[in-house]
Chain A
Amino acid sequence: MQLQPKLIALQLLHLRNPALGEGLEEEMERDPRVCVMGEDVGHYGGSYKVTKGLATKFGDLRVLDTPIAENSFTGMGIGAAMTGLRPVVEGMNMGFLLLAFNQISNNCGMLHYTSGGQFTIPIVIRGPGGVGRQLGAEHSQRLESYFQSIPGIQMVACSTPYNAKGLMKAAIRSENPVILFEHVLLYNLKERIPDEDYICNLEEAELVRPGEDITILTYSRMRYHVMQAAKTLVNKGYDPEVIDIRSLKPFDLYTIGNSVKKTHRVLIVEECMRTGGIGASLTAAITENFHDYLDAPVMCLSSQDVPTPYAGTLEEWTVVQPAQIVTAVEQLCQ
C-alpha cells in the first residue's frame, strides 16, 4: 500500500522536485542515454524551472545550455537521436520552434520512413506554449496546430502535475519522436501524486468527469475553463462528461467514441485558432467515425483567428471563456 502521496506542483518555482522536473530526473537516472538540450536549461535552471537542479546533478554533458539557435540545436538533437541517444529538447517557448520546423518535420518526423525503418528517432521535444497573461502575439502561439500534420510524430499535451510527470516519462521511454506540449499558465498547479514509479499512456485520453448529457472534449489549459463551466452547468441541472484528450496525435478515438455513443452530443473546447487547429481535425474525425451516434452537429469552440492582443481585456476575448462553454452546452442540449 502506498504511503501518503506527496504534494507536488506541476512546476513550482521553489520546490526542489516539481512534477515535470521529477519525471525528467527519474528518466535521466534510469537511462544514461537521456540528455537535455535547450536555452538556459542548465546553469540557469530553465526559464520555467523545469530543469532546475539537473545540471548540478548530471553535469554539463547531459544538461546542455545551447545558444539561441533552435534550427541547429533541434537538428543536433535529432542527429544524436539517430545514433541511439535520447535527447529531450526544450523550446523555451514552443513558438520558437517555428525556426526548427524543417528539422522537426523532415528529419524528426520522416527519417524513420525515408530510411526504410533503419533509424528511429527517440527524441522528446517539449516546452510551454498557449496563451499566457499578456505575453503578446508571438509568445502566445499554439504550435500543435502547425505540427499536427507532420507524419511520423506523436503529440501529447499535459494538464495536471500527475499527467505531466507520467507523460514526460512515457515520452522519454518511447521509441517514437514525441512532442510534449506544456502550458505557460499551468506550471503553478499543485496536486498530490503517487510516490512510486508510474507513467501515463501516450495515446490515452483522460476521463475527468463522467456524465450522460454531453461529451466535452478539451485539453491543456482549456480543461480548467471547461471544469469551471461544468460547475455552473451542474447547478443548472446538466450532467456533462468531460474528457481531456491528452493525446493530440493520434486521437484516442476509442475513449472518445465510447463517450459519443453514450451522450450523442459533442462540444470541443480548445485554445487553437478556429482555422486548422486540433479542434478542426477532431471535429472531422468524430463526424467521420461516429456520425450515426450524433443527435446534433459537433460544435467546436476555439480561439479567434487573430494574433493574440497584448491588452488583457482583448486577450480574454480571443480565448474561450467558461461562460461561452455554458452557453454552447445549453444550445447543444436543447
Chain B
Amino acid sequence: MALSRLNCFSSRSANLLKTLSSAISLRRPISTDTTPIIVETSVPFTSHQCEAPSRSVETNPKELLTFFRDMALMRRMEIAADSLYKAKLIRGFCHLYDGQEAVAVGMEAAITKKDCIITAYRDHCTFVARGGTLLEVFAELMGRQAGCSRGKGGSMHFYKKDSNFYGGHGIVGAQVPLGCGLAFAQKYSKDENVSFALYGDGAANQGQLFEALNISALWDLPAILVCENNHYGMGTAEWRAAKSPAYYKRGDYVPGLKVDGMDALAVKQACKFAKEHALKNGPIILEMDTYRYHGHSMSDPGSTYRTRDEISGVRQERDPIERIRKLILSHDLATEKDLKDIEKEVRKEVDDAIAQAKLFVDT
C-alpha cells in the first residue's frame, strides 16, 4: 500500500520533471517525503584529538533520492566531459571527479550557501553542488561566453560568487590559504558561517597548508580543511609522497576526522560535526577516503600507477551511487525502474546542456 503510494508519487513527480526538464536545476526534490530514517555509515569514524561523531546518520527519502539524482547527474556530466575532451571540444587541462561525487553531495547536505567552499582544479561537481548549471559547466569547458567564467577560466577556474563558491584553482595547495582567508573574513564579519577548504592528498604536503593551519588555529578561525584523499597525487601513491599518509592526523594540535568519502551520509555527518566544531573551537581537518576512476587528468590514463583490478574493485565495492541505490531499494523508497528513469532523465539533461552550450560562439 505504502509502496504503491510512493510509486504514484514518484511517477507523478517524474512527469513534472519531464515537462520542466529544461529549466530544472540540480536541487529539485523527487520525493517530498521527509520521514526520518536512520542509517549507519559504512565504517565508524576515526578521530584525532576529538571525539568522533556517531555513525548513525539521520536522513530521509527525499534526501536519499536527491543524493542519487545529484550524483547520477555529476557522474554523467563527467563522463560526457571525457567524450567532449576526446572530441577536442574541451582543451588544455580537464580533471574529472567521477568516483568522488559523495564528497560534494554529502558536504552540501550539511551546510548552507552562506558557508564558503573553495577547492582545487577538480571542481566541476563541487560547482554544480553549489548551484551551478550544466550549461555554465559545458560552456566554460568549451570556452564559450555563457560559461561561468565567461570562457576565460576553463576547467580549473569555476566560481560562483552568489553561492560562496570560491573556485577553482590550478596551483596545488594555493587555495588553502585563500580558504583560511575566507574563514578569517567570516570571523571578522561575525557571521556564524564556516569555510571549507578542499585539497588533495598531493597538496597535503604543501608548506603553505601548515602555515595557514597554524594561523587559523592561532586566530580561532572557522576553517575546515578537507583532504579529498583519492590516494594518488597524479601518478604518485600517497605512501610514496607522505611519510605519514594519515592526513587527518597531520594537523597535530588541530583535531581531525577520517571519513569514508564514498559514503555520502558519512560525509554529511562529518561536515555537520565539523561545522559545529569550527564555530566553537576553530579549525578541524576532515580526511575523506575517496577514489577517482579517471586518471589525474585527461592526459593520464590512470593505469600506469594502479591496477585495473584496483579500480574495478573500488567500483564494485564502494561506488557512491551504487551505495545510495542499494539503500533506496532496501528501504523501498523507489523501484529499480524509478532509479533507471532518473538516470535516463539526467543523461538527457546533460545532453541537452551540451547541445545548448555548443550553440554559443567560441569566446
Contact = CB atoms under 8 A, between A and B. Distances in A.
A75 B150 contact: no
Residue among B160, B184, B219 with the most chain A CB within 10 A?
B184
B182 A80 contact: yes
Residue among A73, A81, A84 with the most chain B CB within 10 A?
A73
Interface residues of B, number: 41
Contacts of B151: 116
B341 interface: no
A120 to B, nearest CB: 10
Chain A, interface residues (CB within 8 Å), range: 20 to 34
Nearest to A64: B219
A69 B180 contact: no
A73 B166 CA distance: 17
B76 to A, nearest CB: 25
Contacts of A116: 147-153, 159
A314 interface: no
Given A69-B211, A69-B214, A76-B215, A118 B170 contact: no
A76 B212 contact: yes
A79 B177 contact: yes
Interface in B173-190: 174, 176-182, 184-189
Given A66-B215, A115-B167, A78 B148 contact: no
A73 B177 contact: yes
A115 B157 contact: yes
Contacts of B170: 106
B92 to A, nearest CB: 13
Residue among A72, A83, A114, A115 with the most chain B CB within 10 A?
A72
Residue among A79, A114, A118 with the most chain B CB within 10 A?
A79
A117 B215 contact: no
Interface string B125-163: 000000000000000000000011111110001011100
A103 B182 contact: no
A80 B161 contact: no
Contacts of A72: 176-177, 180, 208, 211-212, 215
B251 to A, nearest CB: 14
Contacts of B219: 64
A332 interface: no
A83 B165 CA distance: 11
A73 B216 CA distance: 10
B184 A80 contact: yes
Contacts of A61: 187-188
Contacts of B116: 83
Residue among A66, A113, A114 with the most chain B CB within 10 A?
A114
B168 interface: yes
A73 B208 CA distance: 9
A116 B148 CA distance: 7
A104 to B, nearest CB: 11
A114 B214 CA distance: 29
Contact of A71 (B118, B177, B179, B214): B177
Interface string B349-361: 0000000000000
A270 to B, nearest CB: 31
Contacts of A106: 169-171, 174
B123 to A, nearest CB: 12
Residue among A78, A85, A102, A115 with the most chain B CB within 10 A?
A115
Contacts of A80: 181-182, 184-185, 188
A82 interface: yes
A267 to B, nearest CB: 40
Given A67-B215, A76-B212, A80-B182, A118 B177 contact: no
A79 B187 CA distance: 13
Contact of B181 (A77, A102, A113, A115): A77
A114 B215 CA distance: 27
A159 interface: no
A79 B181 contact: yes
Residue among B147, B185, B212 with the most chain A CB within 10 A?
B185
A76 B223 CA distance: 12
A72 B168 CA distance: 18
Contact of B168 (A71, A103, A114): A114
A88 to B, nearest CB: 14
What 8 A-B pairs come out closest when comparing CB atoms?
A79-B181, A75-B177, A72-B211, A76-B181, A79-B178, A116-B149, A116-B150, A69-B211
